[in-house]
Amino acid sequence: MSGVPIGALRHRVTLEAPINAPDGAGGFFRSFTLVANLWARIEPSGAREDFVEQRAEQATTLVVTIRWRDDVSKDMRFVYRGRTLRIQSALDPDERRRFLICQCEEIA
2-58 per-position pLDDT tens digit: 567 878 999 999 999 999 999 889 898 999 999 999 999 999 999 887 776 777 778
45-83 per-position pLDDT tens digit: 998 877 767 777 788 999 999 999 999 999 999 999 999
Phi and psi at residue 8, to the nearest 5° = -75, -20
Given the candidates 2.40.50.180, 3.40.50.300, 2.40.10.270, 1.10.287.130, the CATH classification of the domain at 8-107 is 2.40.10.270
Q: What is the SS3 assignment for 40-93? A: EEEEEEEEEEEEECCEEEEEEEEEEEEECCCCCCCCCEEEECCEEEEEEEEECC
CA dist., res. 9 & res. 28, Å (int): 36
